[in-house]
């Protein structure tokens, strides 16, 4: 067992780190790298568009470049850049020593990197990568119209990214809800932490909802199902599912940047945010509304006219909460003492550009105007103003703002201001004229001179070069600062009164708070030692500060009287597991040998990870002494599982919705949906259901047993749950085999497709559950659980119940009606 004092090799540290600050820096470097890649792609196709009749990129390269640009900017750049800051500063802002689950945090990063590499590698697959635009409309996305293997690889890469996100989301939820410092109420947090929490809720329900159509798409492309070619599913099935994810996604992109802008405006005008409570309400309302506006992307699809009007109105409504937020930001400056530093200027830029983008958004909400705007460069202008103008500009403000905190060194203000000037000029020359091209279709690689679009496009391309060059200044400034920047103290900006990160050294030590546990009292921030806190302090409201004493979260941590004694903060498994996952994805498209290697590495790393736990080799003291509202009574591990499962609801829900849609459509397309019992035997289905229910009962009994410290009961329950679960999986396997033998395969018809995909995904969940039981059993036999310590068993019981619950719907839909 390595110890903290014999320093490991730096490469090992970066590969195996689980510290939130290191992970944050990894996210930062990677997302900036992808920003450059996707930006250069944009420059290539901007070159192609600069003049009529241009020959620079061929149609196919153009389409691939646009697709990769869009997908990378949306999925691999903006949110991960925000995640870099979230990882670095949010644990500090809330007053924690690290994330709730440090290894899962590292896993999120490595899966993210792996998914990005898989996505980039798809470029070099024969025939190139996805070329259907980031929206991936059906049926252009099917093999029939886009046969290149790179397209399937891109689908898998996105799925890998989504899995990274759901892990990160559960982790952030538990961290922000349960690891806050004593006295740190949610409403005391800076906007960045609050908006990030809201963003996590959006991610929680939006990203799995995107996984559902992607799984169907990959099934179509790899297994031969017919979701997006059959008349019952097809274009509209994809459209609804994509945009159901797609609109929340745009708020996922802008909220973190806007939040940083708000914090920075407050810090640099030295005033409390104006009407912070109203801002919090407004952002929650906007988040809620974002789930009921997606049809504004489908106004031209000939949807029900009533629905069009409803979504017209909901879309307009959404500009009200954003208007309120912007107004509060502006009023924050009132009577402030403004210091126009580089972060401040970028925050200001974010607000200005977002207001312009919001104004053009109101146009898009109008069903009548959308007749003109849909599919044109107007839309491209609009969303770059909001996402890049509002979101990315805010994130750049954050980069400057936290740079001294992360590196301990200051950058050059002069270069920063120069960057800002060129950035704003370039931005507006680049994107504003796009609004004038409201007749020019987007995603065209070619236009002729008679269109008259040439001159404006030339201006836009010039703007893109100016805008891109501003980033060179940014990078020069940062690299220079790393080497020659003047060293800074804890609080170079005077933010110590605003948020916690300015009350710790720059860069902060491994566990963030060298002076003790931060405690928020009526008088402000004080630092206490853990044992002082246990004696009890009261908050402003007079209620007890903490309800529990220090609770180990990682199966056995130590908080000693003199503060910190830690196990190694390193684990190799997140890194290795991601390699396995990436190889598996590539293998799914490029053949069995790679696939097998991938699966072997994947399983080996899960075993290694589990072994680390069973032996309790990895532990980090992340005690939670403070605020946990509203989850005081749910421990970290079960709470993480709950959030994961809320996300799972958003995965299975759209799958069931797809079932409903294709089945209802079959009445109009003339497809005869199989009668009950015709294909799937009701009796066998009912038997499987009973066995699975019994397995669920066994798991619950196992939990009850260990709560009473009954070791035999625990083992017996887990073993029974395992055997019964396995039985269900075997029965299902036999059913599949039998159907296949009869010639009823993935692609037979739409009913077969949805049956195989839903039962297949459910089966994968069963399999995962069985693996978890093996781990629990191993640990149980080593005596790893007792009446006080059994959160792993608890989390599993919750998971297993969910798997049973999903089956309770699967059974009637396929076997009974």
Partner 1 sequence: MAAPAPSAEIWNSLFMMYVTSAVVISAVVLAILGYFVLRYRQPSSSLADGGQDEPEFRIGAEPTRGSAKVAIALSVILGLLFVGLTASTFSAMEFMEEIPEDNPDALHIKVTAFQWGWQFTYPNGRTITGELRVPVNTPIVLEITSRDVFHTFAIAAFKVKKDAIPDRINFAWFEAKEAGEYRIQCYELCGTGHAKMIATLLAMEPEQFEAWYGKLSEEKG
Partner 2 sequence: MREEWQLVAVYTIIVAALVAEVIVGSSWMTLGQTALIGVLVIATLQAALVFAFFMFGKYGTRSVAIIMLISIGTLLPLFLAFAFSIEFPPHAAAGGH
**Chain residues 317-336 in contact with partner 1, contact rule CB under 8 A:** 317, 319-320, 323-324, 326-328, 330-331, 333-336
Q: Using CB under 6 A, which of the segments 4-12, 61-69, 259-267, 397-405 binds ligand HEM?
A: 61-69
Cβ proximity of 153 and 118 under 8 Å: yes
591: CB partners within 8 A, 6+ apart = none
Q: Using CB under 6 A, which of the segments 66-74, 345-353, 574-582, 747-755 binds ligand HEM?
A: 66-74
Dist CA 196 CA 581 (whole Å): 27
Picked from partner 1, Cu ion, ligand HEM, none, the partner binding residue 247 (CB below 5 to 8 A depending on kind) is Cu ion
Our finding on whether 691 is near partner 2 (CB under 8 A) is no
Is the Cα dihedral 36, 37, 40, 45 positive or negative?
negative
Helix H or strand E segment including 48:
helix 20-49
Dist CA 540 CA 546 (whole Å): 13
Our finding on whether 134 is near ligand HEM (CB under 6 A) is yes
Q: Using CB under 8 A, which of the segments 233-241, 385-393, 544-552, 774-782 binds partner 1?
A: 233-241
CB of 445 to ligand HEM, least distance (A): 7
Dist CA 592 CA 741 (whole Å): 23
Our finding on whether 527 is near partner 1 (CB under 8 A) is no
First to last CA, the chain: 58
CB of 186 to partner 2, least distance (A): 12
Q: Using CB under 6 A, which of the segments 22-30, 460-468, 564-572, 579-587 binds ligand HEM?
A: 460-468
Picked from ligand HEM, partner 1, Cu ion, none, the partner binding residue 137 (CB below 5 to 8 A depending on kind) is partner 1
CA 806 vs CA 203, 645, 801: distances in Å: 21, 11, 9
Helices 149-178 and 102-121: crossing angle, nearest 10°? 160
Listed in order, strand segments (DSSP E) in 569-652 are none
Dist CA 103 CA 108 (whole Å): 9
CB of 253 to ligand HEM, least distance (A): 6
Our finding on whether 443 is near partner 1 (CB under 8 A) is yes
CB of 342 to partner 1, least distance (A): 10
Picked from Cu ion, partner 1, ligand HEM, none, the partner binding residue 810 (CB below 5 to 8 A depending on kind) is none
Contacts (CB under 8 A) with partner 1, residues 40-69: 59-60, 63
Indicate which single residue of 160, 701, 758, 780 sits in contact with partner 2 (rule: CB under 8 A): 701
Q: Nearest residue by C-beta to Cu ion? A: 247
Indicate which single residue of 8, 52, 133, 572 sits in contact with ligand HEM (rule: CB under 6 A): 133
Our finding on whether 209 is near partner 1 (CB under 8 A) is no
Torsion region of 341: left, alpha or beta (phi above 0 gives left; psi -120 to 50 gives alpha)? beta
Q: Nearest residue by C-beta to ligand HEM? A: 70
Our finding on whether 545 is near partner 1 (CB under 8 A) is no
Indicate which single residue of 19, 31, 67, 753 sits in contact with ligand HEM (rule: CB under 6 A): 67
Our finding on whether 693 is near partner 2 (CB under 8 A) is yes
Indicate which single residue of 56, 123, 363, 631 sits in contact with partner 2 (rule: CB under 8 A): 631
Cβ proximity of 328 and 278 under 8 Å: yes
Binding mask 658-687 for partner 2 (x = CB under 8 A): --xx--xx--xxx-----xx----x---x-
Picked from partner 2, ligand HEM, Cu ion, none, the partner binding residue 745 (CB below 5 to 8 A depending on kind) is none
CB of 263 to ligand HEM, least distance (A): 21
CB of 67 to Cu ion, least distance (A): 14
Indicate which single residue of 139, 390, 398, 574 sits in contact with partner 1 (rule: CB under 8 A): 139
Contacts (CB under 8 A) with partner 2, residues 208-267: 209, 231, 236, 240-241, 244
Contacts (CB under 6 A) with ligand HEM, residues 76-105: 77-78
CB of 249 to Cu ion, least distance (A): 8
Our finding on whether 387 is near ligand HEM (CB under 6 A) is yes
Closest alpha carbon to 705 in 690, 720, 692, 691 = 720
Q: Using CB under 6 A, which of the segments 63-71, 186-194, 535-543, 589-597 binds ligand HEM?
A: 63-71
Q: Is 527 helix (H, G, I), strand (E, B) or coil?
A: strand
Q: Using CB under 6 A, which of the segments 38-46, 93-101, 409-417, 447-455 binds ligand HEM?
A: 38-46
Our finding on whether 797 is near partner 2 (CB under 8 A) is yes
Peptide bond into 507 cis (omega under 30): yes
Is the Cα dihedral 451, 456, 462, 463 positive or negative?
negative
CA 81 vs CA 102, 159, 393: distances in Å: 19, 19, 12
Dist CA 585 CA 575 (whole Å): 16
| Residue 459: CA count within 13 A, CB half-sphere | 14
| Residue 797: CA count within 13 A, CB half-sphere | 20
Helices 750-781 and 191-218: crossing angle, nearest 10°? 120
Closest alpha carbon to 220 in 150, 143, 297, 130 = 143
66: CB partners within 8 A, 6+ apart = 45, 133, 134, 443
Closer to partner 1 at the Cβ: 317 or 579? Answer: 317
Our finding on whether 467 is near ligand HEM (CB under 6 A) is yes
Our finding on whether 392 is near ligand HEM (CB under 6 A) is yes
Picked from partner 1, partner 2, ligand HEM, none, the partner binding residue 33 (CB below 5 to 8 A depending on kind) is none
What are residue 376's DSSP bridge partners?
A: 441
Closest alpha carbon to 652 in 793, 758, 771 = 758
Our finding on whether 645 is near partner 1 (CB under 8 A) is no
CB of 348 to partner 2, least distance (A): 35
218-244 burial code (b ≥16 CB/10 A, e <16): bbbbbeebbbbbbebbbebbbbbbbbb
DSSP state of 538: B
Dist CA 561 CA 134 (whole Å): 54
Strand 524-528 to 563-564 pairing: unpaired
Our finding on whether 234 is near partner 1 (CB under 8 A) is yes
Dist CA 336 CA 272 (whole Å): 9
Q: Using CB under 6 A, which of the segments 64-72, 413-421, 508-516, 556-564 binds ligand HEM?
A: 64-72
Binding mask 274-313 for partner 2 (x = CB under 8 A): -----------------xx-xx-----xxxxxxx------
Contacts (CB under 8 A) with partner 1, residues 352-411: 352, 355-356, 359-360, 362-363, 366-369, 371-372, 374-376
Dist CA 103 CA 90 (whole Å): 17
Closer to partner 1 at the Cβ: 308 or 628? Answer: 308
Cβ proximity of 286 and 322 under 8 Å: yes
Dist CA 643 CA 790 (whole Å): 19
Closest alpha carbon to 457 in 377, 559, 528 = 377
Output the CA angle 35-37-38, nearest 5 degrees: 65
Write down how long the chain is: 817
Where does this chain bind partner 2 (CB under 8 A)? 204-205, 209, 231, 236, 240-241, 244, 291-292, 294-295, 301-307, 630-634, 638, 642, 646, 649-650, 653-654, 657, 660-661, 664-665, 668-670, 676-677, 682, 686, 689-690, 693-694, 696-697, 699-701, 703-704, 794, 797-798, 800-802, 804-805, 808-809, 811-812, 816-817
Q: Which spans of this chain sit near ligand HEM (rule: CB under 6 A)?
A: 39, 42, 46, 66-67, 69-70, 73-74, 77-78, 133-135, 380, 384, 387-388, 392, 430, 442-443, 464, 467-468
């Amino acid at each position: 067992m390595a110890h903290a004092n014999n320093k490991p090799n730096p490469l090992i540290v970066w590969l195996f780190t689980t510290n939130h600050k290191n992970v944050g820096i990894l996210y930062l470097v990677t997302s900036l790298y992808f920003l450059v890649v996707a930006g250069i792609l944009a420059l290539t196709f901007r070159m192609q568009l600069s003049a009529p009749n241009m020959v620079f990129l061929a149609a196919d390269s153009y389409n691939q470049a646009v697709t990769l640009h869009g997908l990378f900017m949306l999925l691999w750049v903006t949110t991960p850049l925000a995640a870099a800051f979230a990882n670095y500063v949010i644990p500090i802002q809330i007053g924690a020593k690290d994330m709730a689950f440090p290894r899962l945090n590292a896993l999120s990063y490595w899966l993210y990197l792996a998914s990005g590499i898989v996505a980039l590698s798809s470029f070099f697959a024969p025939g190139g990568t996805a070329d259907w635009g980031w929206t991936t409309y059906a049926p252009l996305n099917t093999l029939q119209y886009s046969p290149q293997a790179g397209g399937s690889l891109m689908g898998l890469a996105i799925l890998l990214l989504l899995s990274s996100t759901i892990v990160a989301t559960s982790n952030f939820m538990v961290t922000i809800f349960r690891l806050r410092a004593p006295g740190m109420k949610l409403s005391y947090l800076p906007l960045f932490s609050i908006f990030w929490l809201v963003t996590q809720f959006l991610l929680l329900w939006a990203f799995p909802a995107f996984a559902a159509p992607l799984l169907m798409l990959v099934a179509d492309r790899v297994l031969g199902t017919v979701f997006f070619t059959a008349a019952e599913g097809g274009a509209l099935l994809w459209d609804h599912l994509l945009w159901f994810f797609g609109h929340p996604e745009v708020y996922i992109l802008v909220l973190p940047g806007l939040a940083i802008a708000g914090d920075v405006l407050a810090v640099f005008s030295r005033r409390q945010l104006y009407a912070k409570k109203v801002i919090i309400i407004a952002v929650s309302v906007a988040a809620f509304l974002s789930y009921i506006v997606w049809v504004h992307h489908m106004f031209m699809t000939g949807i029900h006219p009533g629905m069009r009007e409803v979504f017209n109105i909901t879309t307009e409504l959404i500009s009200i909460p954003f208007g309120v937020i912007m107004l509060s930001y502006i009023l924050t400056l009132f009577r402030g003492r403004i210091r126009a530093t580089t972060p401040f200027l970028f925050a200001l830029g974010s607000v200005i550009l977002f207001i312009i983008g919001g104004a053009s958004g109101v146009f898009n909400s109008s069903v009548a105007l959308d007749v003109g705007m849909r599919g044109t460069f107007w839309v491209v202008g609009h969303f770059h103003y909001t996402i890049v103008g509002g979101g990315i500009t805010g994130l750049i403000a954050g980069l400057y703002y936290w740079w001294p905190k992360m590196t301990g060194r200051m950058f050059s203000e002069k270069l920063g201001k120069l960057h800002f000037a060129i950035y704003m000029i370039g931005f507006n020359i680049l994107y504003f004229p796009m609004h004038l091209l409201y007749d020019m279709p987007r995603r065209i690689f070619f236009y002729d001179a008679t269109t008259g679009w040439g001159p404006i496009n030339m201006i836009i391309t010039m703007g893109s070069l100016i805008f891109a060059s501003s980033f060179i200044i940014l990078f020069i400034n940062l690299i220079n600062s790393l080497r020659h920047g003047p060293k800074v103290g804890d609080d170079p900006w005077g933010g110590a009164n605003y948020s916690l990160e300015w009350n710790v050294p720059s860069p902060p030590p491994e566990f963030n708070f060298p002076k003790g546990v931060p405690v928020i009292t009526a008088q402000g921030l004080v630092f206490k030692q853990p044992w002082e806190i246990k004696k009890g302090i009261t908050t402003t409201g007079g209620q007890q500060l903490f309800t529990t004493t220090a609770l180990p979260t990682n199966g056995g941590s130590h908080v000693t009287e003199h503060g910190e004694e830690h196990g190694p903060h390193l684990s190799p498994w997140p890194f290795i597991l991601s390699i396995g996952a990436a190889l598996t994805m590539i293998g799914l498209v490029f053949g069995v040998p790679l696939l097998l290697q991938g699966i072997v590495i994947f399983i080996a790393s899960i075993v290694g990870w589990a072994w680390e736990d069973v032996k309790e080799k990895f532990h980090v003291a992340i005690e939670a002494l403070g605020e946990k509202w509203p989850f005081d009574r749910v421990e970290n591990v079960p709470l993480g599982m709950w959030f994961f499962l809320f996300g799972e609801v958003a995965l299975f829900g759209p799958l069931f919705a797809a079932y409903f849609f294709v089945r209802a459509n079959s009445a109009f397309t003339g497809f005869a949906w199989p009668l009950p019992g015709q294909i799937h035997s009701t009796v066998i289905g009912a038997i499987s259901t009973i066995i699975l229910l019994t397995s669920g009962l066994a798991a619950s009994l196992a939990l009850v047993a260990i709560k009473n410290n009954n070791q035999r009961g625990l083992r017996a329950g887990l073993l029974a749950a395992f055997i019964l679960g396995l039985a269900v999986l075997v029965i299902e396997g036999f059913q599949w085999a039998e159907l296949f033998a009869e010639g009823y395969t993935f692609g037979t018809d739409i009913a077969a497709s949805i049956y195989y995909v839903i039962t297949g995904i459910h089966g994968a969940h069963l399999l995962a559950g069985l693996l978890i039981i093996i781990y629990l059993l191993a640990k149980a036999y080593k005596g790893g659980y007792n009446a006080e310590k059994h959160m792993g068993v608890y989390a599993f019981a919750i998971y297993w119940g969910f798997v049973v619950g999903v089956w309770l719907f699967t059974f009637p839909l396929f076997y009974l009606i």
